[in-house]
């Protein structure tokens, strides 16, 4: 991100001034510099209001990509707080800095060669056993994940439990930034979820059957025909298709089963 110059556009400036009059302003400190921003803004919007332009450290703006990890402190409070800049609204006098990326060891592996044995994780991430059970990672997680418990599950060889506990991980890296044992929790969790999804969960037979059907060319001709339909006609086909009702029963099928 970088501070941008004051706008030369009078209309833009007027809108900004009007907003300043209408909203109550609160002081915040971004990387040590004081700004006054309208209360009720998220940290991300407040930073943009203050003139910062996000090139990195911003993605979905919806709390799911993990790009906007932020740390802050309130004056007189010893505790370091964490937040996602796109979700947390500003509070007066918060001192903040963003951590859009935190360097962490990511093991290299060929996934197809891995088994579902816990030893695979131990081999790739031996630092797993450096965990001192301090729980700092759990306290740092903006997703409310029991990070230490998920690490404990991995240490005990319970990949399924680690995958379950870490399901909501958005890879923000804030846990890693606080870890005494220098673990890269989120990379370990990603490996656990991959192994669980691909090598522990039972295979869905109907999915395998559908993949086989596709590979055998069941849809080749249909797709080829659709590729030659002109734009407006294609739109019409799409808009007039029979949509699945909500809620639909398990055995629901459209009347025209040509595309199934």
Least distance (Å) from ligand SF4 to the CB of residue 37? 25
| 81 vs 152, beta carbon nearer ligand FES | 81
Give 153-161 contacts, CB < 8 A, sequence gap 24+.
Answer: 154/118, 154/121, 154/128, 154/188, 154/192, 155/128, 155/129, 155/131, 157/118, 158/118, 159/116, 159/118, 159/121, 159/192, 159/195, 159/196, 159/200, 160/196, 160/200
Among 26, 46, 83, 137, binds ligand SF4 (CB under 6 A): 137
Q: Token match 């891995």: residue? A: 114
| 143 vs 158, beta carbon nearer ligand FES | 143
Cα(173)–Cα(140) distance, integer angstroms: 9
For position 162 contacting ligand SF4 by CB under 6 A, the verdict is no
For position 151 contacting ligand SF4 by CB under 6 A, the verdict is yes
Among 175, 184, 191, 195, binds ligand SF4 (CB under 6 A): 175
How many residues belong to the site for ligand SF4 (CB under 6 A)? 29
Least distance (Å) from ligand FES to the CB of residue 58? 5
Cα(235)–Cα(131) distance, integer angstroms: 56
Which stretches of the chain bind ligand FES, using CB under 6 A? 58-61, 63-68, 84, 86
Among 51, 63, 92, 181, binds ligand SF4 (CB under 6 A): 181
């Amino acid at each position: 991100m970088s501070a941008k110059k004051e706008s030369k556009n009078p209309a833009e400036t007027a809108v900004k001034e009007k907003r300043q009059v209408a909203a109550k302003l609160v002081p915040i400190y971004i990387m040590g510099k004081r700004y006054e921003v309208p209360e009720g803004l998220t940290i991300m919007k407040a930073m943009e209001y203050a003139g910062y332009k996000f090139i990195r450290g911003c993605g979905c703006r919806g709390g799911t990509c993990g790009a906007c990890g932020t740390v802050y402190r309130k004056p007189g409070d010893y505790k370091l707080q964490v937040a996602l800049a796109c979700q947390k609204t500003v509070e007066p006098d918060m001192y903040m800095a963003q951590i859009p990326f935190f360097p962490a060891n990511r093991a290299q592996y060929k996934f197809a060669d891995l088994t579902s044995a816990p030893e695979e994780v131990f081999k790739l991430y031996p630092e797993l056993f450096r965990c001192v059970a301090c729980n700092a990672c759990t306290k740092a997680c903006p997703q409310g994940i029991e990070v230490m418990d998920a690490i404990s599950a991995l240490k005990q060889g319970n990949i399924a439990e680690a995958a379950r506990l870490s399901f909501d991980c958005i890879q923000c890296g804030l846990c890693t930034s606080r870890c005494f044992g220098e673990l890269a929790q989120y990379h370990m969790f990603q490996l656990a979820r991959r192994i669980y999804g691909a090598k522990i969960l039972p295979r869905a037979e109907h999915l395998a059957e559908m993949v086989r059907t596709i590979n055998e060319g069941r849809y080749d001709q249909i797709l080829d025909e659709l590729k030659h339909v002109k734009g407006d006609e294609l739109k019409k086909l799409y808009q007039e298709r029979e949509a699945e009702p909500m809620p639909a029963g398990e055995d629901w099928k459209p009347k025209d089963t040509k595309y199934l």
